[in-house]
Structure 1
């Protein structure tokens, strides 16, 4: 009891000392600064008059506006993602939709003054660069998640099914390009480059989004889930290699530069898969040194991105190749997934979704494009379903499981948006077709869950 009393007296003494030596000098200093000196009244009047202008000026600075944009985009993206999860959809679909809502097509049409004040054209360059960094980090994670060693026992089946799921929609996309070219191809793009890019755009499967859909439905450990993961992993890698070759050939002027670009791409892929990946697979990561290896992986990703940018096939391919190179080491793969993915997915990817929406013009979609949207969605879905189902059936899979596998392979998601933005930047896609294909990516991803449920009800 005596000790408690002594402690209370000591605390009260410290409180009085704090008030006397800290609070009192501060109050006296603030009072002198506020009320002493000549011209006090005039200064106070000027301060009150300029207060509102100061707030507006601070908000209009590049840093203030960027922080406001970041805050608004994150709140809208995460709120929409939460709403979509409540509706039984993956949250990433809601974030993708939120990015489109913040662009000229929705917010710009409903509240043009607010959209113009929040996203002035001069401020978009910083958002664009940061969103590109987010995509680079996400592709590093996506490449690291491609555990090619996990294909053992399913490799031949995965090769046949995944490549059929690419080839059939690719063929349908090229046929669709015959109808789209005159009205939707940019003026300086030849039919070959346009048709190849449309074909690849319909062939993509979003491996990371598919993993989340399987986890949400409790299918990750089932035979169908494991088969879908193997097919999507191999198909993703194949589609990105095919896209790299097409971009390298289309970017070159003439056959000789195109051949040189293609040889460089093949050499780069061979180096990453044949030399760098085995080297990382043999490394033993000592506990406590994960941070050092994470720095090495990030530097390698940036270096590979720079190399592929110099080769003319875009920096995205380099980041993806760097991720594949470290995918053979389980410790490094776990380090990337736990330390890079949360930052990229939580903070940076909503900026990429927003930039996708901000790229669309307010008049990008017309009433006549509704038919075009339906046709493109139907062609993309049928290509994935028929290509995957027919190859799986020929390899011995049951009819019901083959259709369900086709529905899973129809998931396009974020990977499709990355490909479409790449095509838009390189001039392969016009404004209207870009908007239509973005809507196709959202619809085909959102329909995966309902399509699986409908198939299950029908077979039951």
Structure 2
């Protein structure tokens, strides 16, 4: 792959994402919707269909590994920022409502995902059943924390009780989902090495020890160290730390993204320089590198490959919505929410977005998801994210927004 080709690919991807970003905004959708659609349009589903020769020249198969590696750097930075913006004290402060609603919003779709995994397994007969089932369950139960935060801000719900609880539930969801995904990666890699599921126990013990060490030793050391350096130096330390943490979890048999997420979770919150330093990383990750990931996902997605599986795709979408909205609704009602606000919480937690695509790409890279099933789940991620804002407006119109703060 030549440098010129990589530069042309990057220019085309950024232009498409920027264009669709603006169009999505005009329809009241979060930017991620435009970027996901841009990725799909650049892939075989549209660009490869209307201009196959030009598509083959701009995105030859041999060029995809380099594009993927570049996008992975963006994902590492993105997952670090997700962890950095998680406020676990929010979960503790709202533990009664967020605990029950958040837990049910995970458990119900997770259980539906486990049940759905068996009929879906006919599309992936070579995938080991345990990691495949867990991956489908995670994909059905994930919430996109960054997209949720953006929707709350756009709808002016961030400072409301509903907004605080939604953020707390999403934080709990992210911690549980990424912990389970790390286990799935370990089990899958153990199968690939022909050692069996029991061999995943060793890496898992290492990961638990790593997490304990990060919280008990590294976090206090970081708090002490970052309080004695400038913001410029902290940016360098932050980048070095996130890449080292990602390397450790990748080498331990888990995905690098879990290490990045954990690095963000333990980074000191008391330091006033944190937001300023994070603001320097975010534009690079979200404006340049993340669009490369959307396009890489689009290049691996072929909507035409769904074929006779359109009915199954509709079933996956319906169960994903029913499980997520229904679980959160039940939890919120039990803790005293009225029907309207309980339903609004479920609708908010149903957004999946970029985080879902990350999970699906991990599954595809591990060989757990075949292309047809991968495409099916990408469509589910797009639909569940796209319906969030319009359904939220219908469930919680402007005249009822004041009840969200009560």
Is the TM-score greater than 0.5? yes
Give the drift of 1:156: 3.3
SS of residue matched to 1:340 = helix
Which deviates the most, 252-261 or 224-233?
Answer: 252-261
- 1:186 is displaced (CA, Å) by 4.6
Give the 5 Å matches for 1:370-449.
370-449=310-389
- Post-superposition offset of 1:459: 9.8
Poorly superposed stretches of 4+, deviation over 4 Å: 281-284, 457-460
Secondary structure (helix, strand or coil) at the match of 1:202 reads: helix
State whether structure 2 residue 165 is matched by structure 1 residue 227.
yes
SS in 2 for 1:365: helix
Q: Secondary structure at the match of 1:321?
A: helix
2:252 & 2:239 partners in 1: Cα distance?
20
Deviation at 1:195, TM superposition (A): 1.0
Residue-by-residue CA offset, 1:294-340 (whole Å, 9 max, x unaligned):
11111111111111111111111111111111153343531343110
Selected match of 2:54 from 107, 111, 114: 114
Maintained 8 Å contact 2:110/2:140: yes
Confirm whether residue 129 of structure 1 aligns to residue 69 of structure 2.
yes
Secondary structure of residue in 2 paired with 1:364: helix
1:210 and 2:148 aligned: yes
- Aligned residue pairs total 396
Matching residue of 1:20: none
Alignment of 1:30-49 (within 5 A): none
> Partner residue of 1:35?
none
Shift of 1:63: 1.4
Match of 2:134 in 1: 196
> Is 1:84 aligned with 2:24?
yes
Quick check: 1:285 aligned with 2:227? yes
Cα offset, 1:283, TM superposition? 5.4
How has the CA–CA distance of structure 1 residues 330 and 387 changed in structure 2, closer, same or farther, with 3 Å as cutoff? farther
Residues 389, 459 of structure 1: CA spacing in aligned structure 2 closer, same or farther, 3 A cutoff? farther
* Aligned twin of 1:353: 294
Query: Could you tell me how far apart the structure 2 residues matched to 1:159 and 1:279 are?
Result: 30
CA root-mean-square deviation: 1.9
* Deviation, structure 1 residue 398: 2.0
CA distance in 1, matches of 2:337, 2:215: 31
Say whether 1:364 aligns with 2:302.
Answer: no
Identify if the C-alpha distance between structure 1 residues 370 and 459 changes in structure 2 by more than 3 Å, giving closer, same or farther: farther
SS in 1 for 2:141: coil
Distance change (3 Å), C-alpha of 1:255 and 1:138:
closer
Farther-moved stretch of structure 1 (251-260 vs 229-238): 251-260
Deviation at 1:99, TM superposition (A): 0.7
Question: Deviation of residue 249 (structure 1)?
Answer: 2.6
Deviates more, 1:411-420 or 1:113-122: 113-122
By how many angstroms is 1:203 displaced?
0.9
Structure 1 position 313 matched with structure 2 position 254: yes
Inter-partner Cα distance in structure 2 for 1:391 and 1:160:
5
Alpha-carbon distance in structure 2 between the residues aligned to 1:405 and 1:305:
33
Distance 1:319 1:399 in 2: 38
- Which of 121, 124, 128 lines up with 1:185 in the alignment? 124
- The alpha-carbon deviation at position 254 of structure 1 amounts to 2.4
Offset at 1:255? 4.6
Q: Which has the higher contact order (CA 8 A, sep 6+)?
A: 2
Q: Are 1:267 and 2:209 an aligned pair?
A: yes
Unaligned runs of 5+ in 2: 401-406
CA contact under 8 A between 2:140 and 2:320: conserved in structure 1? yes
- Paired with 2:217 and 2:392, the residues of 1 have a C-alpha distance of 40
Q: Partners in 2 of 1:168 and 1:278 — Cα distance? A: 37
In structure 1, how many angstroms separate the alpha carbons of the residues matched to 2:385 and 2:215?
A: 30
Over 3 Å counting, the alpha-carbon distance change for 1:335 and 1:457 in structure 2 is: closer
Checking the alignment, whether the CA contact within 8 Å between 2:306 and 2:375 is kept in structure 1 is yes
Of 242-251 and 383-392, deviating more is 242-251
105-114 or 207-216: bigger deviation: 105-114
Choose the corresponding residue for 1:342, options 268, 271, 283.
Answer: 283
What is the CA distance between 1:361 and its match in structure 2?
4.5
1:224, CA displacement in angstroms?
0.6
Please state whether the residue corresponding to 1:440 is helix, strand or coil. helix
Question: TM-score when scaled to structure 1?
Answer: 0.82
Partner residue, 1:244: 182
- The equivalences for 1:96-115 within 5 A come to 96-115=36-55
Report the CA distance shift for 1:275/1:222 in structure 2 as closer, same or farther (over 3 A): same
Find the residue that maps to 2:272 and give its secondary structure.
Answer: helix
Greater C-alpha Rg: 1
Contact 1:147 / 1:327 at 8 angstroms: preserved in 2?
no
Q: 1:155 to 1:282 in 2, by over 3 A?
A: farther
Contact kept, 8 Å, 2:227 with 2:271, in 1: the verdict is no
Cα distance in 2 for partners of 1:271, 1:134 equals: 26
State the Cα deviation string for residues 378-433 of structure 1 (Å, max 9, x = none).
Answer: 00000001111111111222222111101000010100000000000001101111
Give how far 1:70 is off: 0.9
Normalised by the length of structure 2, the TM-score is 0.93
